[in-house]
Amino acid sequence: MSDSDIDEMSQMSDEERAVMEQWESMAGEGDGNGNSDNDMDIAGGEGGADGDEESSARILNQDEIDSLLGFDDDIGCGETSGVMALVNSAMVNYERLPMLDIVFDRLVRLMSTSLRNLTSDNVEVSLDQVSTVRFGDYMNSIPLPAMLSVFKAEEWDNNGLMVTDSALIYSIVDVLLGGRKGESSIRVEGRPYTTIETKLVERMVHTTLADVSSAFDPLSPVSFNLDRMETNPRFATITQTGNACVLARLRIDMGERGGRMEILIPYATLEPIRALLLQQFMGEKFGRDSIWENHLTQELYKTDVQLQAVLGEVAVPLGEMLNWKVGDYLLLNTTTSDFLEMRCGDFPMFKGPVGQKQGNIAVRIEQYIEPEENDG
């Protein structure tokens, strides 16, 4: 090294000096041993291969990136994976409503009885799952052909959806038209449902909606009425695609025949009874003690309260008030026909005229003063 190089290295930082020495040592090893670049690659081939494997292991190809982000084409259209699955699950798991499980269990028992009376056959109804889905995702996953029944909750002023699959439609038609027991129903694909089939399914839907109303009765009386029946999901939209909904999947078996029925209720529809659905058991009070509340109310009624009748108010300077003596008169701008204000502490309560009763000055209460709202 020359003197200028030594001066430059003395002005460098420790990190820069270490890098320079490393580069010089690498260059010196290559030149001093007389090995070419190819010879160095051959001699250190094994180490170089390991280094390449380590570097390539840190790099993801396009397929791995797509799979990580949830855009894998190999997965079915109704399923997601990776980051998209985490995002969707966070958006769908909106809230847990414990009383819904009890409501749908009650619905299963009611439907088993009512459908047996409707079909005069041995009907078994089972609840497969109660889950939370987004409305748009569910509508895209409905297997067609199917019959979509839009119903309205009158007291809650909102809608719900009942989906009857093709297998259950043909099964209920076969049973109601006198099909033989022990034989599976004949499905005719590729044509729209006839008027007779629609009317028969409508009878079953009316029966089921009556059972749903009865299942909610212990919590809150509600009437579910059929609004319309559709076969195209586009015409059965009852809420926005991103809104969360409760989905109950029911399995209905009638001997060898049967199918599935799904009841979809948006969270917006259940909002009026949300507090009731959050209960862990029927009649839960969320920490309230009615006995203590009644006792406290009775004791408050026995409390002595002091009322003051204000004859009038006038503003005077402090210096004038300090010069008052016994016998001085204070003039008030109040006449005998004015209403006096009665206060409890600093709070005005009533107004009324002043007079005499049994030799005493009395105030008759004629007006109640509404309390002022505290904006703070």
CATH number at residue 332: 2.30.330.10
**Percentage above 90 pLDDT, the chain:** 14
268 in Cβ contact with 158 (< 8 Å)? yes
CATH number at residue 225: 3.40.1550.10
Q: Is residue 37 part of a domain?
A: no
Task: For 42-55, write each residue's pLDDT tens digit.
Answer: 444 444 445 454 44
**Residues 234 and 333 reside in one and the same domain:** no
241 pLDDT more than 80: yes
83 pLDDT more than 50: yes
Q: According to the model, what pLDDT value does residue 49 have?
A: 46
Lowest mean pLDDT among 16-30, 152-166, 200-214: 16-30
Residue 145 preceded by cis peptide, ω within 30:
yes
155 pLDDT more than 60: yes
Q: According to the model, what pLDDT value does residue 159 have?
A: 92
CA 258 to mean position of chain CA atoms? 33
Task: For 245-273, write each residue's pLDDT tens digit.
Answer: 899 999 998 877 888 999 999 988 888 88
Q: 307-342: string of b/e by CB count within 10 Å (b at 16+)?
A: eeeeeeeeeeeeeeeeeeeeeeeeeeeeeeeeebbb
Q: Is residue 218 part of a domain?
A: yes
**Residues 123 and 201 reside in one and the same domain:** yes
248 in Cβ contact with 104 (< 8 Å)? yes
> Total domain count for the chain?
2
**Residues 318 and 266 reside in one and the same domain:** no
The more confidently predicted of residues 130 and 15 is 130
Q: Is residue 349 part of a domain?
A: yes
Which one, of 194, 189, 145, lies nearest residue 166 by Cα?
145
Q: What CA–CA distance (Å, rounded) separates 173 from 176?
A: 5
Q: Is the CA virtual torsion 253, 258, 263, 264 positive or negative?
A: positive
Q: Which token pair is 81?
A: 């994976």
pTM greater than 0.75: no
Q: What is the DSSP letter of 212?
A: H
127 in Cβ contact with 110 (< 8 Å)? no
**Residues 123 and 269 reside in one and the same domain:** yes
**Residues 138 and 263 reside in one and the same domain:** yes
Task: For 335-355, write each residue's pLDDT tens digit.
Answer: 778 888 888 888 888 888 888
Q: Is residue 73 part of a domain?
A: no
Cα→Cα distances 257→106, 153, 184, 194, Å: 23, 31, 5, 20
Domain that holds residue 361: 304-368
Q: Is residue 296 part of a domain?
A: no
Which one, of 192, 141, 140, lies nearest residue 166 by Cα?
192
Domain's final residue, options 277, 293, 328:
277
Q: What CA–CA distance (Å, rounded) separates 120 from 4?
A: 107
Go through the chain and tell me how many residues it has.
Answer: 376
**Residues 113 and 242 reside in one and the same domain:** yes
Q: Is residue 12 part of a domain?
A: no
pLDDT bracket for residue 77 (50, 70, 90) = very low
**Residues 227 and 361 reside in one and the same domain:** no
- Give the amino acid at 71: F
**Residues 249 and 341 reside in one and the same domain:** no
- Give the amino acid at 178: G
Task: For 271-294, write each residue's pLDDT tens digit.
Answer: 888 888 887 766 555 556 678 888
List residues bridging with 262 in a β-sheet. Answer: 163, 249
Apex CA 367: angle with CA 366 and CA 369, to 5°? Answer: 155
Nearest-10 crossing angle of helices 98-119, 166-176: 30
**Residues 110 and 210 reside in one and the same domain:** yes
The percent of the chain in helix, strand and coil, each rounded to the nearest 5, is: 45, 20, 35
